[in-house]
Structure 1
Amino acid sequence: MHTLLTIGLLQIVVLIVPGPDVLLVSQTAIARSRRAALFAGAGVVTGIACWATLALLGIGVLFAHFALLHGVIKVAGGLYLLYMAFNLWRSSFGEQSSEGDTAPTPLGDWKAYRSGLLTNLANPKAAVFFGSVFSSLMPAHSSTGLRLGVFAVILGLSLLWFALVSFGMSTAPLQASYLRAKRTIDRVAGSLMAGFGTLLLASRE
C-alpha cells in the first residue's frame, strides 16, 4: 500500500506540472474541440501506459546498460517537439479569425490521438520519471498484484487528469478568447514546445 500511495502521489505531481503533454491537450481543447482534446489525451495516456509497462519490465536497467539507446530516444523526442513547434508557428501566420467566427478548425480523431501519443513518447519528463524515479520506487521482487495495482493507479490518474483538462479548457469562453488571440497563443505555445525540444536535445544525462 505504501508503494501504491507513493507512486500515486508522485504521478499526480508529474501530471500537474506543465509540460508538452498538458500543453498539447490544452491547446487542442482551446483551438480545436473537446472531442479532439479527449482523443489527444487518450494518446498521451496510451504513451504513459507504454512507459509504465516498460518501467515494470525494467527499462531503468536497460537505459543504464545501453546509454546509446536512451540518447537516440532523447534526440528523436527533441526533434519531434521541434517539429510540433514549427507547425504551431506556421499556423500562427495563417489568416486571423474574426471575433464572430467561433467554429474551431476540425481535427481528425486519429490525428489528435497520434499527436498525443507521439508527444508523450517524446516527453523527457515521462522518460526520466519512468526510467529512473518510478523504477527505483518499485521493490526489487514485487509481486504481480502490486505491479498490476501500480499500473492501474497510474492509468486511472492519467485518464482522470487529461479528461479534466479536455473538459475544462474546451469551454466556449476560452475558445472565443483563443480565436481573438490565435496568433499570439500559437506562437507562445510553439515557443514553449521548442523550448522543451531544445532542452531535451541539449541535455546530456
Structure 2
Amino acid sequence: MSLMQDLYVVIAVSAFWLIAMIVPGLDFLLVTRLAVLRGRSAAWRATLGIATGVAIWGICGFFGIRTLFYAAPWLYLLLKVGGGLYLFIAGCTLLIGSWKPSAADATTASTDPTSGGFRTGLLTNLANPKAPVFVSSLFAAAMPQHAPVQLGLACVFAMFAIAAGWFGLVAMVLSHERVSAAFLRCRRWIDRCAGLAFMALGIRFMTERTPG
C-alpha cells in the first residue's frame, strides 16, 4: 500500500473513533464526575486509563478478537459477566453513598470505586464488552485485507490520542471553578444518576445473549 492509502485508512478510523468518543457513555460520565467532584488531576489520570483501555481494545480488534469470541463464546460470556458485575457493584456503591450524611463524605471517598486514578479509568473502559466488538467491526470495515502491522498500530495510536485528547478536554472544561461549583450543588444527584447508569449497563451486559 502507498503512504497516501495508509493515511486515508488512519484518517477514516480516526474520524469514526472521534464520533464514538464524543457520544456520551460510561467513560464520559466517569470523567465528568471526577472533574467536578475530585478535580482536574483525578480526571486526567482516569483519562489516561481510559485511553490505555482504548489502545488495548484497538490492538485486540486489529488482531481479530471478534473471531476468537465466535470460536470460544464462553470468553465473551466471561467478559460480559465480569464487566457487568464490576459496573453493577460500582453503581451500587455510588448510589448508596449518595444517601449518606455529608459528614460521611470523607469515608465514602476512600471506598468509592470511581474516586479517581488510572486504574479506575482503565477498568471502566475494559468492563464494556461492546468495545471489542465495535473496534473489531471498525477495523473490518476500514482496514484492507492483509494490512501491515504498522498500519494497525498507527490506527491504534490515533485512537489512543483521540481518547486522551477528548476526555482531557472534557476534564479541563468541567473542572473549571465556575462549572464545578454549579455541578457541586447537584453532587448527590450526580452520584445517583451515575450509580443508576452504571447499574443499568452492568445488568444489561450480564443479561444480554452472547453473539453467534
| TM band (smaller chain) | 0.7 to 0.9
Write the mapping of 1:26-41 to structure 2, written as runs, cut at 5 A.
Answer: 26-41=32-47
Write the mapping of 1:16-165 to structure 2, written as runs, cut at 5 A.
Answer: 16-96=22-102, 112-165=117-170
Contact persistence 1:92–1:183 (CA under 8 A): yes
Contact persistence 1:21–1:123 (CA under 8 A): no
Cα deviations by residue, 1:15-45 (Å, 9 ceiling, x for unpaired): 1111111111111111111000000111111
Q: TM-score, normalised on structure 1?
A: 0.87
Contact persistence 1:52–1:130 (CA under 8 A): yes
Partner amino acid, structure 2, of 1:202: T
Contact persistence 2:61–2:132 (CA under 8 A): no
Task: Quote how far apart the aligned CAs of 1:136 are.
Answer: 4.3
The alignment of Structure 1 onto Structure 2 pairs a total of residues equal to 196
Partner amino acid, structure 1, of 2:171: S
Partner of residue 193, structure 1? 198
Q: TM-score, normalised on structure 2?
A: 0.84
Contact persistence 1:96–1:182 (CA under 8 A): no
Q: Among residues 9, 17, 24, which one is paired with 2:15 in the alignment? A: 9
Task: Quote how far apart the aligned CAs of 1:132 are.
Answer: 3.0
Residues in 2 aligned to 1:179 and 1:49: alpha-carbon distance in whole angstroms:
32
Q: Percent identity?
A: 36
Task: Could you list the structure 1 runs, at least 4 aligned residues long, displaced by more than 2 angstroms after superposition.
Answer: 94-97, 131-140
Task: Quote how far apart the aligned CAs of 1:111 are.
Answer: 5.2
Q: CA RMSD in A?
A: 2.0
Do the aligned partners of residues 56 and 16 (structure 1) sit closer, same or farther apart at CA in structure 2, a change above 3 Å counting?
same
